Amino acid sequence: MSYLTRFAVALGLVALMPCASAATTAIQPSGESAPATTDQAQLPASRIHDAEVDYAAWLNRIEQRNAIAGLATAIVVGHTPVFERTLGYADTTTREPVTVDTVFRLASLSKAFSSALAAQLIQSGSFHWNTPLSSVLPDFHLKTLSATEQATVADILGQRTGLPRNTYDNLIEANQSFQSVVGALDQVDLMCPVGQCYSYQNVAYSLIGEVVQHETGQPLPVEVEHKLFQPLGMRTASYGLAPLEASASWARPHHASAHGWIPIKPSEVYYHVAPAAGVNASLRDMEKWLAAQMGERPDVLNPSELQAVHAPGIATPVELRSTPWRKARLQSAHYAMGWRVFTYAGETLIFHAGVVDGYRTMIGFFPKYRVGVVTLWNSSGFIPSGLMPMVFDSLLGLKHEDWAGIEQDTPLAGRTMARATVRHAGGPGRARLASRSRRPHPPHTGHSPRPVLANARDSASKPISKD
């Protein structure tokens, strides 16, 4: 299918005819398309085309540098993936290639599934955003009685409990049970009154699972399966380590070594906080999820539910300076419900990222234009994280900046970098768009250069789940 045809399909201008090739089949919502709103606009077709061309060239550089073990990424316009690319391997030992159906751990991208489910249940009357946790969870206690009584569903999903950042993640990493860790929250001094400051959490966030269980009688993963995975057609999405390993194709986590990317045994640790970090999904699944978040599946997630989870909440000023692209592009940053909300070069950007040992993930979209990007990779290297803002810049027609450092001899890191010689090739790559960039890029040489792999925090052996 030509680019212009695909773009027209994405905007609903023409109907998509059946196609035998899975690689070019667009998402087909079972419900009617979301109605246009007054703040909707369309990006020029030529600009989206240029972004695709640029992205393909940048990914070629990633592949040449062997900066990842394996990667899957897509650009979605409306309900249609207009660009897909996979690189490298699900397992470097067996040379099993990454495909659009290879399942990755999503890490903190899992949070948005929990908040979406909460929005659905709230709209059905099961509970409310302002429902106090103590009213449904009698064993929930913070340091003071007033804080305990004040904390609501919105506070835990909006990352404004007042607890210190990542409270008791260390105990989860030490394999202590979730219930025992939650039972110790009353020993923690709060940074601020509940609702008054931002502090990122996994344990406290996962209390939404207890609320869902109490109100529906079903575990949160079961409810997400019935209310989100199944109706959206996310056929390879799941919760937990056993389902991940039972997938027909699943991405093993990898660490860098002097001998290349080495697969490691996936850790079960952060599956213990499933509402915060327990989802597994493929690129094909995430294309459907991204389309739904952009309003293309109102039969599953209606406009009021999306508005509730995307509305900016507590300010997150640390995000304005945490990376070079954030410093340059963001004018404001807030946390919503399982999502970050940025003002990116004057445009609203809904975004989240995730990290868990051997996996990294990113997703972001501009609701005004209904265009977004999702990227999943199964190694500790940080370089792909700079590509997404480069695609954003291209989509918005901004001045090009090499946020990933891929156009330099020594890629940007922002922190101390570790280097290693990688002996194996970057693996097979496949893309819908095979074309040259507007900007000069070196030709493929067939050699694997020595890549910058990760900074010390990224390559640490302990499991982490943060964004």
pLDDT band at 9 (very low <50, low <70, confident <90, very high): very low
DSSP conformation letters of 405-445: -TTSSS---SS-EEE----S-----EES-----SS--PPP-
For 90-116+219-382+417-424+445-455, which CATH superfamily applies? DD-peptidase/beta-lactamase superfamily (3.40.710.10)
Per-residue pLDDT, 410: 52
Half-sphere exposure of 413 toward its Cβ, with a 13 Å CA cutoff?
A: 18
Instruction: Decide if 159 contacts 208 (C-beta within 8 A).
Output: no
More confident residue, 288 or 454: 288
Partner residues linked to 138 by β-bridges? none
Look-up: residue for tokens 């550089």? 61
Dist. CA 253–CA 458, nearest whole Å: 13
CB atoms within 10 A of CB 29: 19
Q: Which two tokens stand for residue 129?
A: 């955003």
Distances (CA, A) of 41 to 37, 266, 367, 371: 9, 42, 9, 10
Question: Tokens for 176?
Answer: 């202590």
Encode pLDDT of 358-367 as tens digits.
999 999 999 9
- Using an 8 Å Cβ cutoff, are 278 and 239 in contact? yes
- What amino acid is encoded at 240 in this protein? G
Average pLDDT for residues 286-315, to the nearest whole number? 98
pTM of the model: 0.83
Range of lowest pLDDT (35-39, 289-293, 313-317, 402-406): 35-39
**Span between the terminal Cα atoms of the chain, in Å:** 36
With beta carbons less than 8 A apart as the criterion, state whether 373 and 392 touch: yes
- Among 64-73, 180-189, 366-375, 412-421, which is the least confidently predicted range? 412-421
Q: Is 22 a residue whose pLDDT tops 90? A: no
pLDDT at position 237 over 60: yes
| DSSP class per residue in 8-45 | HHHTTSSPPPP-S-GGGPPP--SSPPPPP-TT-----H
- Structural tokens at position 426: 């970057």
Sign of CA dihedral 311, 317, 318, 322: positive
Question: What are the boundaries of each domain within the chain?
Answer: 90-116+219-382+417-424+445-455
pLDDT tens digits, one per residue of 64-103 = 999 999 999 999 999 999 999 999 999 999 999 999 999 9
pLDDT at 182: 97
pLDDT of residue 105: 98
pLDDT level of residue 13 (50, 70, 90 thresholds): very low
Chain centre to alpha carbon of residue 302: 21
Q: Tell me, what's the pLDDT at 26?
A: 31
DSSP string, 64-117: HHT--SEEEEEEEETTEEEEEEEEEEEETTTTEEP-TT-EEE-GGGGHHHHHHH
Predicted local confidence at residue 381, as pLDDT: 85
pLDDT computed for residue 21 by the predictor: 29
- Rounded to an integer, what distance in angstroms lies between the CA atom of residue 185 and that of residue 389? 37
Which residues lie closer than 8 Å to 209 by C-beta, 6 or more apart? 114, 219, 220, 274, 275
pLDDT band at 172 (very low <50, low <70, confident <90, very high): very high
**How far apart (Å, rounded) are the C-alpha atoms in residues 133 and 148?**
8
In this structure, the strands spanning 279-282 and 340-344 are: unpaired
Q: What is the pLDDT of residue 266?
A: 96
| Sign of the dihedral through C-alpha 384, 386, 392, 395 | negative
Q: Kindly provide the b/e burial profile for residues 300-326, where b requires at least 16 CB atoms within 10 angstroms of the residue's own CB.
A: bbbeebbebbbebbbebeebbeebbbb
Which tokens hold the place of 104? 């990755």
For helices 45-65 and 387-396, angle between their N-to-C axes, nearest 10 degrees: 160
What pLDDT, on the 0 to 100 scale, is given for residue 409? 64
Look-up: residue for tokens 């979406």?
A: 116
Structure confidence at residue 379 (pLDDT): 96
Identify the three-state secondary structure at position 408.
coil
Could you tell me which residues are beta bridge partners of residue 330?
344
Taking the C-alpha atoms of residue 91 and residue 249, their distance in angstroms, rounded to an integer, is 10
Q: List 375's β-bridge partners, or say none.
A: 73, 362
The DSSP annotation for 221-263 comes to: HHHHIIIIIHHHT-TT-EESHHHHHTSSSBPPPEEEETTEEEE
| CA 18 – CA 180 distance, rounded (Å) | 53
Convert the pLDDT of each residue in 378-388 to its tens digit. Answer: 998 889 999 99
Per-residue model confidence (pLDDT) at position 159: 98
Q: Is 238 helix (H, G, I), strand (E, B) or coil?
A: strand
